[in-house]
C-alpha cells in the first residue's frame, strides 16, 4: 500500500516520470500475494492496476496502460472479486 501511495504522491508533486515504476512495484507485490490469498489481495491488485493504467496513460504509454486497465477490469468482473466495491 505504501508503494501505491508513494506513486500517487509523486504524481501530485509532478514527478510523474517515477510514478509508473513505483506503482508497478506495488502491482508486482500484490500479484504475488494474491496467488496465495486472492480474497485478501485481489482488491489491492485491481486498485494498483487501475492506478498503473492511469499513470502509464499520462506518460504516453497507451498500450501498456490499456493492458493494465483491462487486467483490473477482469479482476473486478471475476467471481472471486464479487465482494469488491
Domain CATH for 48: 1.25.40.10
User: 61 in helix, strand or coil?
Assistant: coil
Tell me whether residue 85 is in a domain. Answer: no
Does residue 83 lie in a domain region? Answer: no
Contact of 47 with 83, CB cutoff 8 Å: no
Q: pTM here?
A: 0.81
**Pairwise CA distance, residues 81 & 46, whole Å:** 9
High-pLDDT (> 90) share of the chain, %? 49
Residue 27, domain extent? 2-77
- 44 inside domain: yes
* Per-residue pLDDT at 63: 96
Do the domain assignments include residue 71?
yes
Cell of 64: 501498456
Confidence of residue 69 (pLDDT cuts 50, 70, 90): very high
The pLDDT, as a whole number, for residue 62 is: 94
What is the count of structural domains for the chain?
1
19-60 residue pLDDT tens: 788 889 889 999 999 999 999 999 999 999 999 998 899 889
- Is 9 within a domain? yes
- Domain-embedded: residue 84: no
Cα–Cα distance for residue pair 19/81, rounded to 1 Å: 26
Amino acid at each position: 500500500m505504501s508503494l501505491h501511495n508513494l506513486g500517487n504522491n509523486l504524481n501530485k508533486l509532478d514527478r510523474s516520470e517515477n510514478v509508473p515504476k513505483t506503482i508497478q512495484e506495488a502491482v508486482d507485490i500484490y500479484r504475488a500475494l494474491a496467488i496465495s490469498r486472492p480474497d485478501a489481495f485481489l482488491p489491492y491488485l485491481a486498485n494498483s492496476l487501475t492506478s498503473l493504467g492511469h499513470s502509464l496513460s499520462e506518460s504516453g504509454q497507451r498500450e501498456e496502460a490499456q493492458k493494465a486497465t483491462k487486467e483490473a477490469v477482469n479482476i473486478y468482473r471475476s467471481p472471486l472479486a464479487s465482494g469488491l466495491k
